[in-house]
Protein backbone atom coordinates (compact mmCIF):
# COMPACT_ATOMS: atom_id res chain seq x y z
CA UNK A 1 0.00 0.00 0.00
CA UNK A 2 1.46 3.44 -0.91
CA UNK A 3 2.37 5.73 2.00
CA UNK A 4 -0.44 8.19 1.22
CA UNK A 5 -3.05 5.40 1.18
CA UNK A 6 -1.64 3.91 4.38
CA UNK A 7 -1.77 7.30 6.08
CA UNK A 8 -5.36 7.83 4.97
CA UNK A 9 -6.29 4.38 6.35
CA UNK A 10 -4.64 5.08 9.71
CA UNK A 11 -6.25 8.51 9.95
CA UNK A 12 -9.68 6.87 9.97
CA UNK A 13 -9.16 3.40 11.43
CA UNK A 14 -7.16 3.99 14.60
CA UNK A 15 -7.55 3.42 18.32
CA UNK A 16 -9.03 6.85 18.96
CA UNK A 17 -11.68 6.41 16.26
CA UNK A 18 -12.50 2.88 17.44
CA UNK A 19 -12.87 4.14 21.02
CA UNK A 20 -15.20 6.90 19.80
CA UNK A 21 -17.30 4.35 17.93
CA UNK A 22 -17.48 2.15 21.03
CA UNK A 23 -18.65 4.98 23.27
CA UNK A 24 -21.27 6.05 20.74
CA UNK A 25 -22.55 2.48 20.50
CA UNK A 26 -22.51 2.17 24.28
CA UNK A 27 -24.65 5.27 24.60
CA UNK A 28 -27.07 4.00 21.98
CA UNK A 29 -27.27 0.59 23.64
CA UNK A 30 -27.87 2.01 27.11
CA UNK A 31 -30.56 4.38 25.88
CA UNK A 32 -32.25 1.46 24.14
CA UNK A 33 -31.79 -0.87 27.10
CA UNK A 34 -33.50 1.59 29.43
CA UNK A 35 -36.72 0.93 27.55
CA UNK A 36 -36.37 -2.78 28.39
CA UNK A 37 -35.82 -2.31 32.09
CA UNK A 38 -38.49 -3.86 34.33
CA UNK A 39 -38.18 -3.62 38.13
CA UNK A 40 -39.59 -7.12 38.64
CA UNK A 41 -37.03 -8.72 36.31
CA UNK A 42 -33.58 -9.71 37.59
CA UNK A 43 -30.99 -6.99 37.17
CA UNK A 44 -28.43 -9.49 35.83
CA UNK A 45 -30.63 -10.28 32.85
CA UNK A 46 -31.03 -6.59 32.04
CA UNK A 47 -27.28 -6.02 32.28
CA UNK A 48 -26.63 -9.04 30.06
CA UNK A 49 -29.05 -7.74 27.45
CA UNK A 50 -27.44 -4.25 27.58
CA UNK A 51 -23.93 -5.69 27.17
CA UNK A 52 -25.06 -7.95 24.35
CA UNK A 53 -26.75 -5.09 22.50
CA UNK A 54 -23.63 -2.94 23.00
CA UNK A 55 -21.56 -5.71 21.42
CA UNK A 56 -23.95 -5.98 18.49
CA UNK A 57 -24.03 -2.25 17.75
CA UNK A 58 -20.25 -2.00 18.15
CA UNK A 59 -19.82 -4.69 15.49
CA UNK A 60 -21.85 -2.63 13.02
CA UNK A 61 -20.10 0.59 13.97
CA UNK A 62 -16.63 -0.93 13.48
CA UNK A 63 -17.72 -2.41 10.16
CA UNK A 64 -18.75 1.04 8.98
CA UNK A 65 -15.48 2.53 10.25
CA UNK A 66 -13.40 -0.07 8.41
CA UNK A 67 -15.36 0.46 5.19
CA UNK A 68 -14.84 4.22 5.42
CA UNK A 69 -11.11 3.75 6.10
CA UNK A 70 -10.73 1.47 3.07
CA UNK A 71 -12.50 3.87 0.73
CA UNK A 72 -10.42 6.80 2.03
CA UNK A 73 -7.25 4.76 1.41
CA UNK A 74 -8.51 4.00 -2.10
CA UNK A 75 -9.23 7.67 -2.80
CA UNK A 76 -5.76 8.64 -1.55
CA UNK A 77 -4.12 6.72 -4.40
CA UNK A 78 -2.24 8.87 -6.95
CA UNK A 79 -4.57 7.82 -9.80
CA UNK A 80 -7.87 8.12 -7.91
CA UNK A 81 -10.74 10.03 -9.54
CA UNK A 82 -12.12 12.78 -7.28
CA UNK A 83 -15.41 12.88 -9.20
CA UNK A 84 -16.33 9.37 -8.00
CA UNK A 85 -15.53 10.17 -4.36
CA UNK A 86 -19.12 10.88 -3.28
CA UNK A 87 -20.45 7.73 -4.93
CA UNK A 88 -17.69 5.57 -3.46
CA UNK A 89 -18.22 6.95 0.03
CA UNK A 90 -21.96 6.34 -0.12
CA UNK A 91 -21.39 2.82 -1.44
CA UNK A 92 -18.86 2.16 1.33
CA UNK A 93 -21.37 3.17 3.98
CA UNK A 94 -24.05 0.89 2.57
CA UNK A 95 -21.66 -2.06 2.16
CA UNK A 96 -20.30 -1.50 5.66
CA UNK A 97 -23.82 -1.49 7.08
CA UNK A 98 -24.66 -4.73 5.25
CA UNK A 99 -21.48 -6.45 6.43
CA UNK A 100 -22.07 -5.23 9.97
CA UNK A 101 -25.64 -6.57 9.92
CA UNK A 102 -24.46 -9.96 8.65
CA UNK A 103 -21.73 -10.06 11.29
CA UNK A 104 -24.25 -9.22 14.01
CA UNK A 105 -26.51 -12.04 12.92
CA UNK A 106 -23.59 -14.47 12.77
CA UNK A 107 -22.43 -13.53 16.30
CA UNK A 108 -26.00 -13.82 17.59
CA UNK A 109 -26.28 -17.36 16.19
CA UNK A 110 -23.19 -18.38 18.17
CA UNK A 111 -25.33 -18.19 21.31
CA UNK A 112 -28.63 -19.10 19.65
CA UNK A 113 -28.17 -21.37 16.60
CA UNK A 114 -31.92 -21.28 15.98
CA UNK A 115 -32.09 -17.48 15.67
CA UNK A 116 -34.07 -16.76 12.47
CA UNK A 117 -33.04 -14.33 9.76
CA UNK A 118 -35.52 -11.46 9.60
CA UNK A 119 -35.52 -9.48 6.39
CA UNK A 120 -37.39 -6.56 7.89
CA UNK A 121 -34.90 -6.27 10.75
CA UNK A 122 -31.94 -6.59 8.34
CA UNK A 123 -33.25 -3.91 5.97
CA UNK A 124 -34.12 -1.44 8.74
CA UNK A 125 -30.75 -2.04 10.42
CA UNK A 126 -28.87 -1.46 7.16
CA UNK A 127 -30.77 1.72 6.38
CA UNK A 128 -30.50 3.05 9.94
CA UNK A 129 -26.73 2.51 10.13
CA UNK A 130 -26.21 3.86 6.63
CA UNK A 131 -27.99 7.04 7.69
CA UNK A 132 -26.07 7.29 11.00
CA UNK A 133 -22.81 6.56 9.24
CA UNK A 134 -23.53 9.20 6.60
CA UNK A 135 -24.13 11.87 9.25
CA UNK A 136 -20.98 10.90 11.16
CA UNK A 137 -18.98 10.66 7.91
CA UNK A 138 -20.13 14.15 6.87
CA UNK A 139 -19.15 15.61 10.25
CA UNK A 140 -15.75 13.92 10.10
CA UNK A 141 -15.15 15.08 6.54
CA UNK A 142 -16.08 18.66 7.46
CA UNK A 143 -13.78 18.60 10.50
CA UNK A 144 -10.94 17.22 8.38
CA UNK A 145 -11.41 19.92 5.74
CA UNK A 146 -11.35 22.55 8.48
CA UNK A 147 -8.15 21.09 9.94
CA UNK A 148 -6.54 21.06 6.51
CA UNK A 149 -7.60 24.67 5.93
CA UNK A 150 -6.09 25.72 9.27
CA UNK A 151 -2.90 23.83 8.45
CA UNK A 152 -2.69 25.54 5.07
CA UNK A 153 -3.20 28.92 6.76
CA UNK A 154 -0.42 28.14 9.24
CA UNK A 155 1.91 27.09 6.43
CA UNK A 156 1.02 30.19 4.44
CA UNK A 157 1.70 32.35 7.51
CA UNK A 158 5.07 30.63 8.00
CA UNK A 159 5.97 31.20 4.35
CA UNK A 160 4.88 34.83 4.66
CA UNK A 161 7.05 35.29 7.77
CA UNK A 162 10.00 33.65 6.01
CA UNK A 163 9.57 35.97 3.02
CA UNK A 164 9.31 38.98 5.33
CA UNK A 165 12.52 37.91 7.08
CA UNK A 166 14.29 37.55 3.74
CA UNK A 167 12.96 40.92 2.60
CA UNK A 168 14.09 42.54 5.85
CA UNK A 169 17.54 40.99 5.54
CA UNK A 170 17.86 42.20 1.95
CA UNK A 171 16.63 45.66 2.93
CA UNK A 172 19.12 45.93 5.79
CA UNK A 173 21.96 44.72 3.57
CA UNK A 174 21.09 47.34 0.97
CA UNK A 175 20.90 50.09 3.57
CA UNK A 176 24.22 49.04 5.12
CA UNK A 177 25.77 49.04 1.66
CA UNK A 178 24.70 52.69 1.29
CA UNK A 179 25.77 53.75 4.78
CA UNK A 180 29.27 52.21 4.69
CA UNK A 181 30.62 54.21 1.69
CA UNK A 182 28.94 57.36 2.99
CA UNK A 183 30.79 57.04 6.30
CA UNK A 184 34.13 55.79 4.99
CA UNK A 185 34.54 58.08 1.99
CA UNK A 186 34.05 61.19 4.11
CA UNK A 187 36.64 59.91 6.57
CA UNK A 188 39.13 59.16 3.78
CA UNK A 189 38.55 62.63 2.33
CA UNK A 190 39.57 64.14 5.66
CA UNK A 191 42.72 62.00 5.70
CA UNK A 192 43.55 63.08 2.15
CA UNK A 193 43.23 66.79 2.97
CA UNK A 194 45.38 66.47 6.07
CA UNK A 195 47.99 64.44 4.20
CA UNK A 196 48.28 67.20 1.59
CA UNK A 197 48.69 70.02 4.13
CA UNK A 198 50.79 68.28 6.84
CA UNK A 199 52.44 65.06 5.62
CA UNK A 200 53.84 64.10 9.03
CA UNK A 201 50.49 64.41 10.72
CA UNK A 202 48.91 62.81 7.67
CA UNK A 203 51.06 59.71 8.10
CA UNK A 204 50.19 59.52 11.80
CA UNK A 205 46.54 59.93 10.98
CA UNK A 206 46.73 57.29 8.26
CA UNK A 207 48.18 54.79 10.74
CA UNK A 208 45.41 55.65 13.19
CA UNK A 209 42.84 55.25 10.43
CA UNK A 210 44.21 51.81 9.52
CA UNK A 211 43.91 50.72 13.15
CA UNK A 212 40.41 52.16 13.28
CA UNK A 213 39.27 50.40 10.10
CA UNK A 214 40.56 47.05 11.35
CA UNK A 215 38.13 47.37 14.22
CA UNK A 216 35.33 49.13 12.34
CA UNK A 217 34.97 47.04 9.17
CA UNK A 218 34.01 43.77 10.93
CA UNK A 219 31.39 45.72 12.90
CA UNK A 220 29.92 47.12 9.69
CA UNK A 221 29.45 43.63 8.28
CA UNK A 222 27.93 42.14 11.42
CA UNK A 223 24.19 42.19 11.92
CA UNK A 224 24.53 43.61 15.41
CA UNK A 225 26.95 45.39 17.71
CA UNK A 226 26.99 46.67 21.29
CA UNK A 227 26.78 50.15 22.71
CA UNK A 228 30.32 49.82 24.05
CA UNK A 229 31.71 48.84 20.63
CA UNK A 230 29.86 51.66 18.88
CA UNK A 231 31.13 54.19 21.42
CA UNK A 232 34.69 52.98 20.90
CA UNK A 233 34.28 53.40 17.15
CA UNK A 234 32.97 56.91 17.68
CA UNK A 235 35.83 57.71 20.04
CA UNK A 236 38.40 56.47 17.46
CA UNK A 237 36.69 58.42 14.69
CA UNK A 238 36.63 61.64 16.69
CA UNK A 239 40.24 61.14 17.73
CA UNK A 240 41.26 60.88 14.07
CA UNK A 241 39.33 64.02 13.19
CA UNK A 242 40.79 65.80 16.16
CA UNK A 243 44.24 65.25 14.67
CA UNK A 244 43.11 67.31 11.67
CA UNK A 245 40.94 69.90 13.32
CA UNK A 246 43.05 70.42 16.44
CA UNK A 247 41.44 72.80 18.91
CA UNK A 248 38.47 73.20 16.60
CA UNK A 249 37.08 69.84 17.77
CA UNK A 250 36.28 68.89 21.34
CA UNK A 251 34.19 65.92 22.36
CA UNK A 252 32.84 64.25 25.48
CA UNK A 253 31.29 60.77 25.82
CA UNK A 254 29.13 59.77 28.79
CA UNK A 255 27.44 56.39 29.17
CA UNK A 256 26.19 54.34 32.07
CA UNK A 257 28.55 51.35 32.46
CA UNK A 258 25.64 48.91 32.79
CA UNK A 259 24.43 49.90 29.32
CA UNK A 260 27.69 49.14 27.50
CA UNK A 261 26.85 45.45 26.78
CA UNK A 262 23.48 46.47 25.31
CA UNK A 263 23.10 45.27 21.72
CA UNK A 264 22.78 47.98 19.12
CA UNK A 265 22.39 48.13 15.32
CA UNK A 266 25.88 48.77 13.89
CA UNK A 267 26.89 52.14 12.39
CA UNK A 268 23.82 54.01 13.65
CA UNK A 269 25.61 56.07 16.30
CA UNK A 270 28.71 56.77 14.13
CA UNK A 271 26.39 58.08 11.39
CA UNK A 272 24.86 60.62 13.78
CA UNK A 273 28.30 61.76 14.91
CA UNK A 274 29.56 62.02 11.33
CA UNK A 275 26.47 64.08 10.44
CA UNK A 276 27.15 66.46 13.34
CA UNK A 277 30.75 66.94 12.20
CA UNK A 278 29.91 67.43 8.54
CA UNK A 279 26.94 69.78 8.87
CA UNK A 280 27.56 71.33 12.27
CA UNK A 281 31.21 71.85 13.18
CA UNK A 282 33.20 71.65 9.95
CA UNK A 283 31.61 74.77 8.33
CA UNK A 284 32.53 76.94 11.36
CA UNK A 285 36.05 78.44 11.48
CA UNK A 286 36.15 78.05 15.26
CA UNK A 287 34.74 74.50 15.21
CA UNK A 288 32.88 73.39 18.28
CA UNK A 289 32.06 70.60 20.69
CA UNK A 290 30.21 67.28 20.46
CA UNK A 291 28.69 65.61 23.49
CA UNK A 292 27.46 62.02 23.33
CA UNK A 293 25.31 60.63 26.12
CA UNK A 294 23.68 57.22 26.62
CA UNK A 295 21.20 56.62 29.41
CA UNK A 296 18.26 54.45 30.35
CA UNK A 297 14.86 56.07 30.69
CA UNK A 298 12.11 55.00 33.06
CA UNK A 299 9.89 53.71 30.24
CA UNK A 300 12.40 50.97 29.37
CA UNK A 301 13.93 53.03 26.58
CA UNK A 302 17.54 53.50 25.62
CA UNK A 303 18.22 57.18 24.90
CA UNK A 304 21.25 58.09 22.79
CA UNK A 305 21.87 61.81 22.44
CA UNK A 306 24.40 63.47 20.12
CA UNK A 307 24.59 67.22 20.82
CA UNK A 308 26.74 69.73 18.96
CA UNK A 309 27.10 73.51 19.14
CA UNK A 310 27.69 73.94 15.42
CA UNK A 311 25.80 76.09 12.98
CA UNK A 312 22.57 74.16 13.38
CA UNK A 313 20.08 73.64 10.58
CA UNK A 314 21.48 76.47 8.46
CA UNK A 315 23.27 74.12 6.06
CA UNK A 316 21.18 70.97 6.31
CA UNK A 317 17.65 70.14 7.26
CA UNK A 318 18.56 66.73 8.57
CA UNK A 319 17.50 64.83 5.45
CA UNK A 320 20.87 63.52 4.22
CA UNK A 321 21.57 60.04 2.95
CA UNK A 322 23.04 58.87 6.26
CA UNK A 323 20.08 60.04 8.35
CA UNK A 324 17.53 58.81 5.82
CA UNK A 325 19.06 55.34 5.79
CA UNK A 326 19.33 55.35 9.57
CA UNK A 327 15.62 56.08 9.87
CA UNK A 328 14.86 53.33 7.35
CA UNK A 329 16.96 50.81 9.31
CA UNK A 330 15.23 51.71 12.57
CA UNK A 331 11.83 51.34 10.90
CA UNK A 332 12.79 47.93 9.51
CA UNK A 333 14.21 46.67 12.82
CA UNK A 334 11.86 48.15 15.42
CA UNK A 335 8.85 49.53 13.56
CA UNK A 336 7.12 52.38 15.42
CA UNK A 337 8.91 51.58 18.70
CA UNK A 338 12.10 53.44 17.73
CA UNK A 339 12.54 57.09 16.79
CA UNK A 340 15.20 59.53 15.63
CA UNK A 341 14.52 63.16 16.44
CA UNK A 342 16.47 66.27 15.47
CA UNK A 343 15.91 69.59 17.19
CA UNK A 344 17.71 72.88 17.48
CA UNK A 345 20.00 73.31 20.49
CA UNK A 346 20.46 76.54 22.45
CA UNK A 347 22.15 78.86 21.82
CA UNK A 348 23.00 77.05 18.59
CA UNK A 349 23.64 73.61 17.23
CA UNK A 350 21.58 70.45 16.82
CA UNK A 351 20.53 67.67 19.19
CA UNK A 352 19.96 64.22 17.69
CA UNK A 353 17.99 61.95 20.00
CA UNK A 354 17.75 58.26 19.25
CA UNK A 355 15.23 56.26 21.29
CA UNK A 356 15.20 52.46 21.13
CA UNK A 357 13.10 49.92 23.06
CA UNK A 358 15.65 48.62 25.54
CA UNK A 359 14.15 45.12 25.88
CA UNK A 360 14.16 44.54 22.11
CA UNK A 361 17.65 45.99 21.76
CA UNK A 362 18.97 43.81 24.59
CA UNK A 363 17.31 40.72 23.09
Question: Can you name the residues that pair with 294 across neighbouring β-strands?
Answer: 255, 304
Which strand (E) or helix (H) includes residue 343? strand 339-344
What is the tens place of the pLDDT at every residue in 179-231?
A: 456 556 766 776 777 678 877 777 777 777 776 777 666 655 566 788 888 88
Cα–Cα distance measured from residue 268 to residue 223, given in angstroms and rounded to the nearest whole number: 12
Task: Write down the domain spans for the chain.
Answer: 3-117, 162-362
Q: Is 204 helix (H, G, I), strand (E, B) or coil?
A: helix
Which strand (E) or helix (H) includes residue 351? strand 350-357
Cα–Cα distance measured from residue 243 to residue 10, given in angstroms and rounded to the nearest whole number: 78
Structure confidence at residue 216 (pLDDT)? 66
Q: Would you tell me how many other CB atoms lie within 10 Å of the CB of residue 76?
A: 18
Question: Can you name the residues that pair with 263 across neighbouring β-strands?
Answer: 226
Q: Is 347 helix (H, G, I), strand (E, B) or coil?
A: coil
HSE of 8 in the Cβ direction (CA atoms, 13 Å)? 18
Which ranges of the chain have pLDDT less than 70? 1-3, 79-82, 164-184, 186-187, 190, 194, 211, 215-223, 314-322, 359-363
Dump the DSSP string for 153-164: HHHHHHHHHHHH
- Write the DSSP symbol of residue 298: T
Query: Among residues 84, 26, 30, which one has the least CA distance to residue 55?
Result: 26
- The CATH classification number of 162-362 equals 3.30.565.10
Structure confidence at residue 120 (pLDDT)? 86
Q: List Cα–Cα distances, 106 to 45, 49, 61, 68, 111, in angstroms.
A: 22, 17, 16, 22, 9
Which strand (E) or helix (H) includes residue 93? helix 85-111
Cα–Cα distance measured from residue 169 to residue 159, given in angstroms and rounded to the nearest whole number: 15
Q: List Cα–Cα distances, 26 to 20, 31, 55, 109, in angstroms.
A: 10, 9, 8, 21
pTM > 0.85: yes or no: no
Cα–Cα distance measured from residue 52 to residue 49, given in angstroms and rounded to the nearest whole number: 5
Structure confidence at residue 141 (pLDDT)? 82
Amino acid sequence: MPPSSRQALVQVFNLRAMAAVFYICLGMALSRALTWYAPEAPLSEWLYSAVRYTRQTTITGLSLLLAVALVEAWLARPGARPRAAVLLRGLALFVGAILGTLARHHVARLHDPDAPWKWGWALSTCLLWTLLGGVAYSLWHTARAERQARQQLREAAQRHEALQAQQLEAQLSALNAQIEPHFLFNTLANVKRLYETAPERGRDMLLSLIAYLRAALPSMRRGESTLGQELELVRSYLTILQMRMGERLRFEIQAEPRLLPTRLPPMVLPTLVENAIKHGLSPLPEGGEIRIQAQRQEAGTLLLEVRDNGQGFAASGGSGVGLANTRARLEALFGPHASLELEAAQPRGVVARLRLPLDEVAA
